[in-house]
Amino acid sequence: MRHQPCTPVLSLSPHLLCCVGGPESSPGQSRSQSSTDLKPETLLPVGEASLLTRGFQTSAVSRDIDTAAKFIGAGAATVGVAGSGAGIGTVFGSLIIGYARNPSLKQQLFSYAILGFALSEAMGLFCLMVAFLILFAM
């Protein structure tokens, strides 16, 4: 019976170098006979193989969880943009009501409305900036 040379296989960590290979099975040989001819020292122990598999799966799952957390955080940060829109609507609604009550204060009311608009819009832009930082910088 002729044996194949062992092929070195590098697993996930460099210090776990093993030799995997087995006897060449002939067509007349049954599957159970060829599997019993394998030497136990050429295979990875069950504990190490399961640790390697588990570690790889954990990293993929953890990457998915991190990505989901990014999207949830960015979505929560964009809620502030809606608040900014509501604030701008309130500012200009109040401007119209104030102008209707006292038309002589038109210029002063308009300057206060522009100041309120600028502050509300700045808060919305800060929320949008935080959302983009969460998505692309983390």
CB contact at 8 A, 109 and 98: yes
Confidence of residue 19 (pLDDT cuts 50, 70, 90): very low
Expressed in angstroms, the distance from the first to the final Cα of the chain is: 58
Span 36-59, average pLDDT: 58
Better pLDDT: 55 or 74: 74
What band does 61 get if pLDDT is binned at 50, 70 and 90?
Answer: confident
Main-chain dihedrals φ then ψ at residue 43, nearest 5 degrees? -105, 155
* pLDDT score, position 17: 45
What pLDDT is recorded for position 109? Answer: 94
| pLDDT for 21 beyond 90 | no
Q: Where are the domains of the chain?
A: 64-137
pLDDT (0 to 100) of residue 42: 58
What angle in degrees, to the nearest 10, is found between the helix axes of 46-77 and 106-137? 170
Q: 1.10.3470.10, 1.20.20.10, 3.90.105.10, 1.10.150.120: which CATH number matches 64-137?
A: 1.20.20.10
pTM (2 d.p.): 0.51
Does pLDDT of 3 surpass 60? Answer: no
CA separation for the pair 120, 112 (Å, rounded):
12
In this predicted structure, the answer to whether residue 16 has a pLDDT above a threshold of 70 is no
pLDDT in tens, 63-112: 889 899 999 999 999 898 999 999 999 999 999 999 999 999 999 999 99
State both tokens at 20. Answer: 């995997």
Across residues 53-61, what is the average pLDDT?
64
